[in-house]
Copies of this chain bind each other. A is one copy, B any other.
Amino acid sequence: MRIGVVGGGQLGRMLAIAGYPLGLEFLFLDRSRSAPAGQVAPLLEADLGDRARLLELASRSDVVTFDWENVPVESLRGLPCPLRPSRLALAATQDRASEKRLFERLGIPTTRWRSVESRRDLTRALQEIGLPAMLKTRRLGYDGKGQAALRTERDADAAWERLGAAPLICEELVPFDSEVSIIGARSVDGATVFYPLCLNTHAGGILRVTRAPDGRARLQRIAERHLARVLAHFRYVGVLTIEYFVSAGRLIANEMAPRVHNSGHWTIEGATTSQFENHVRAVAGLPLGQTRALGHSAMINLIGHMPSRARILALGGVHLHAYGKEPRPGRKLGHCTLVAPTARARDAWVRRLLRQLAPDIRIP
Which residues of A approach B to under 8 Å, CB–CB? Answer: 13, 17, 20-23, 25, 39-41, 268, 272, 281, 285-287, 289-290, 294, 309-310, 313-314, 316-317, 319-324, 334
Contact in complex: B313, A289 (CB < 8 Å) = yes
CB distance from A302 to the nearest CB of B (A): 11
How many angstroms from the CA of A40 to the CA of B21 in the assembled complex?
10
How many angstroms from the CA of A147 to the CA of B310 in the assembled complex?
44
Contact in complex: B309, A23 (CB < 8 Å) = yes
Known: A287-B314, A313-B281. A319 touches B21 (CB 8 A): yes
Known: A17-B21, A319-B21. A287 touches B310 (CB 8 A): yes
Known: A22-B309, A23-B334. A316 touches B294 (CB 8 A): no
CB distance from A231 to the nearest CB of B (A): 19
Contact in complex: A20, B25 (CB < 8 Å) = no
How many angstroms from the CA of A313 to the CA of B285 in the assembled complex?
11
CB distance from A265 to the nearest CB of B (A): 11
What residues on B are CB-neighbors of A25 within 8 Å?
A: 39
What residues on B are CB-neighbors of A281 within 8 Å?
A: 313
**Copies of this chain held together in the complex:** 2
How many angstroms from the CA of A307 to the CA of B34 in the assembled complex?
36
What residues on B are CB-neighbors of A285 within 8 Å?
A: 310
What residues on B are CB-neighbors of A39 within 8 Å?
A: 20, 25
Can you list 5 residue pairs at the A/B interface with Cβ under 8 Å?
A: A20-B39, A21-B319, A22-B309, A22-B320, A286-B309
Contact in complex: A310, B286 (CB < 8 Å) = yes
Contact in complex: B21, A322 (CB < 8 Å) = yes
Contact in complex: A20, B17 (CB < 8 Å) = yes
How many angstroms from the CA of A334 to the CA of B24 in the assembled complex?
13
What residues on B are CB-neighbors of A21 within 8 Å?
A: 17, 268, 319-322
Q: Which residue of B lies closest to A21 (CB)?
A: B321
CB distance from A346 to the nearest CB of B (A): 15
CB distance from A249 to the nearest CB of B (A): 33
Known: A272-B317, A310-B286, A317-B290. A324 touches B13 (CB 8 A): no
CB distance from A87 to the nearest CB of B (A): 26
How many angstroms from the CA of A274 to the CA of B20 in the assembled complex?
16
How many angstroms from the CA of A39 to the CA of B16 in the assembled complex?
11
What residues on B are CB-neighbors of A287 within 8 Å?
A: 310, 313-314
What residues on B are CB-neighbors of A317 within 8 Å?
A: 272, 289-290
What residues on B are CB-neighbors of A23 within 8 Å?
A: 309, 320, 322-324, 334
What residues on B are CB-neighbors of A324 within 8 Å?
A: 23
What residues on B are CB-neighbors of A321 within 8 Å?
A: 21
Q: A22-B320, A23-B323, A286-B313 are in contact. List 5 more A-B contacts (CB 8 A).
A: A21-B322, A23-B334, A25-B39, A40-B41, A287-B314
What residues on B are CB-neighbors of A17 within 8 Å?
A: 17, 20-21
Our pick among B13, B310, B319 for the contact of A20 (Cβ within 8 Å) is: B13
Q: Which residue of B lies closest to A39 (CB)?
A: B25
Q: Which residue of B lies closest to A269 (CB)?
A: B272
Q: Which residue of B lies closest to A25 (CB)?
A: B39
How many angstroms from the CA of A22 to the CA of B322 in the assembled complex?
5
Contact in complex: B334, A316 (CB < 8 Å) = no
How many angstroms from the CA of A195 to the CA of B260 in the assembled complex?
33
What residues on B are CB-neighbors of A316 within 8 Å?
A: 289-290
